[in-house]
Chains A and B, each alone.
Chain A
Amino acid sequence: MIAPEGNPFLERAPLRVTIVPILSTLAGSATALLPIVATEPIVPPFGLMMLLAWRLLRPEIWPVWVALPLGLADDLISGHYLGTAMILWTIAFLSLEWVDQALRWRDSWIEWGVASLGIVTIGIGSWALSQPGGSHTSVLTVLPQTIGAILLFPAILRITAALDNWRLKR
């Protein structure tokens, strides 16, 4: 034990520090509650984008399993079968652990590339996992929201960085 309990010099991190990343990701998932009635998937998956942005910006704040409850919340809100985002997001986190070890160099372009790859893969994965039995929706239905998500990702990364500054402000 490095810092035993009752140490007066140990500063307790305020609640804000831990809760801002979680709440902002949930808010991203909650964009599915926008009061528009769409007959095709057009709104980018903001929950996934927030999750990836936090993970790329601050790899150390979350253990790997945090994608499970966040994915469950996303499944419940977006109406997917329960387990879709749980599985895909956790696999993405495990893959990012490996990517962190493999990448020797990273800048904003590489992060954008990694995030785009994640968005495309998870988009196709959630399309595959949400196919009801005996149906044949085209995989191209994922295309519009995926393009939107890739183009919007740098903006989401900026928002996340601003939130991160506010979160750690004293």
Chain B
Amino acid sequence: MAAPRHRRRGFSRRVQYGLFAGYVVAIVGILIGAALLLVARLDPRAFGTLRGVVVDAGAIFTGAGRVGVDAAHDLGDGIAAYFDAANQNRALKEELARERRRVIAAKAIAAENGRLKKLARLTEHLPAPILSARLIGSTPTGQRRFATLAAGTAEGIRPGMTVRSPEGLVGRVYESGIFASRVLLLTDGETTVPIKIIRSGQAALATGQGDGTMEVRALIAGGRPFRRGDLAVTSGTGGVYSPNVPVAVVVAVNGDRAIARPLADPGRADFAAVYPIFQAPVVDPPAQPKP
């Protein structure tokens, strides 16, 4: 088929001017878009109200659909639970007995830990969660990794607060509407979490890679500080994230860097707890000797 000829200018001045005006508006719009991008670089919280309204409006649809997804999930899990139930039951019973012994041991350690801390007069100011809410959706088409949390400024959620699920850290509140907010997930490129490796105590930084994994870099270059299976928890350095929250497990080592997978799967977490911004306790600097 020969290409259709539209946008024919012809001799009509009106059509010519109309077409020209369209191009002018488009070019001006591109410039405005560039300005908006620049504003977003300089002030990421710009247009927060507008974005919050859209988050709220989207959450209405997403929340309604989430019920259906949960029901489907539950149905699938319910059917899957019947397969191989006898073997699973036996294995689970054994595991339960084993875990019970471990829990008793852990309780003893916790008690001793508390006693020792009291002896050392260490008091920890770990924040309590503000509330727990459902993660209802995400931005699966975009390049940024956001999840939608079904709680907003009306419940006291503010940008910067940390979000955890029982398995570990989920992310940080990025922007909030009145009754829904966007959570920047760990895998987003903007996320950087100060962590430490439990095995060695090595301090490191974990950065999202946008593809479901995080890159772990040691603060000191050289060597091979990571091993497969290493567990990373937040170190609490610099505030924001409170210490000792599980973050990720190392799945591949690449020289002095490593690829880690977040422990908390936001797609599976039913509820996520929101914690206030952690402020590291200020340590008094040693006094300067008086001359």
Name A's B-contacting residues (CB within 8 A). Answer: 30-47, 59-60, 63-65, 67-68, 71, 76-84, 86-87, 90-91, 93-94, 97, 100, 103-107, 126-127, 129-133, 135-138, 140-142, 145
Contact = CB atoms under 8 A, between A and B. Distances in A.
Nearest to A110: B3
A64 B30 contact: no
B36 A37 contact: no
B212 A77 contact: no
A85 to B, nearest CB: 9
A118 B208 CA distance: 28
B142 A130 contact: yes
A137 B26 contact: no
B141 A31 contact: yes
B187 interface: yes
B227 interface: no
Contact of B47 (A82, A126, A136): A82
A83 B139 contact: no
A106 B4 CA distance: 9
A39 B143 contact: no
Q: Which 5 residue pairs are nearest across A and B when measured between Cβ atoms?
A: A137-B210, A83-B36, A135-B189, A78-B142, A83-B33
Contacts of A67: 26, 29
A43 B135 CA distance: 18
B141 A39 contact: no
A47 B142 CA distance: 11
Nearest to A61: B6
Given A87-B30, A104-B3, A64 B23 contact: yes
B54 interface: yes
A35 B287 CA distance: 56
Given A43-B140, A77-B54, A81-B36, A37 B29 contact: no
Contacts of A59: 4, 6-7
B54 A81 contact: no
Contacts of A140: 211
A40 B61 contact: no
B211 A35 contact: no
B6 A60 contact: yes
Given A35-B66, A65-B25, A97 B7 contact: yes
Given A60-B7, A100-B6, 7 more contacts: A35-B68, A36-B140, A37-B147, A41-B142, A82-B51, A93-B26, A132-B190
Given A100-B6, A105-B1, A132-B190, A79 B37 contact: no
B26 A64 contact: yes
Contact of B26 (A44, A68, A104, A130): A68
A135 B142 CA distance: 16
23 contacts: A33-B65, A35-B66, A38-B138, A40-B145, A42-B140, A43-B140, A47-B141, A59-B6, A64-B23, A68-B32, A68-B33, A77-B54, A80-B142, A83-B33, A87-B30, A90-B30, A93-B26, A100-B3, A105-B3, A126-B142, A136-B215, A137-B189, A141-B210
A145 B36 contact: no
B176 interface: no
A58 B107 CA distance: 70
B144 A80 contact: yes
B212 A39 contact: yes
Interface stretch (B120-128, B153-161, B260-268): B260-268
Given A35-B62, A39-B266, A138 B22 contact: no
B58 to A, nearest CB: 5
Contact of B141 (A35, A78, A81): A78
Contact of B142 (A32, A39, A137): A32
Interface string B25-44: 11001101111110111000
A43 B212 contact: no
A79 B211 contact: no
Nearest to A62: B22
B275 interface: no
Nearest to B65: A35
| A80, A83, A104: residue with the most chain B Cβ atoms closer than 10 Å | A83
B146 interface: yes
Given A79-B139, A82-B47, A87-B34, A37 B1 contact: no
Contacts of A42: 140
